[in-house]
Structure 1
Amino acid sequence: ITVRQKDFDVVNRSNADLEIELLTDDVQDGTKTLTITLVSASNDEGALAVGRGGTDYLKTATIVIEDVD
């Protein structure tokens, strides 16, 4: 995922849209959990701290995907 800053928005640089397409297989196999962890970040000036203030806070997002079958 590439997060790019909007030219006019200098505050909200940490938002990205992630589209997930659910494929059906006619098998009811329950709810799934997808965990995404940001492990590195950089810009034109070099590396950036990951998470809020370089901590683990807001470094991981968990998405619950309901069974669509």
Structure 2
Amino acid sequence: MNMAGGNNGTVIVLYENDKIVLYKRHKDNSPNQQTESMSFKAKSKGTFKYRYKLLNAKGSASSETIAIAVN
């Protein structure tokens, strides 16, 4: 996740197939760039859809959804 600047998110939410799999507090270092990386292992074969959302007192911003195929 990379947000170039502006009002940083104070909470990061990661969705897998529209279900929350991570809810994490994040340091507000506004207006500086905000980045976060995550890694995990696939649980099974299939196609999984991921997106994240950044939240703060002013609102939220969401990423586009990406699909990952696990063979």
What TM-score bracket applies, with the shorter chain setting the length? 0.3 to 0.5
| TM superposition score normalised by structure 2 | 0.40
What is the TM-score of this pair, normalised by structure 1? 0.41
Larger Rg: 1
Q: Would you tell me which structure has more helix in proportion to its own residues?
A: 1
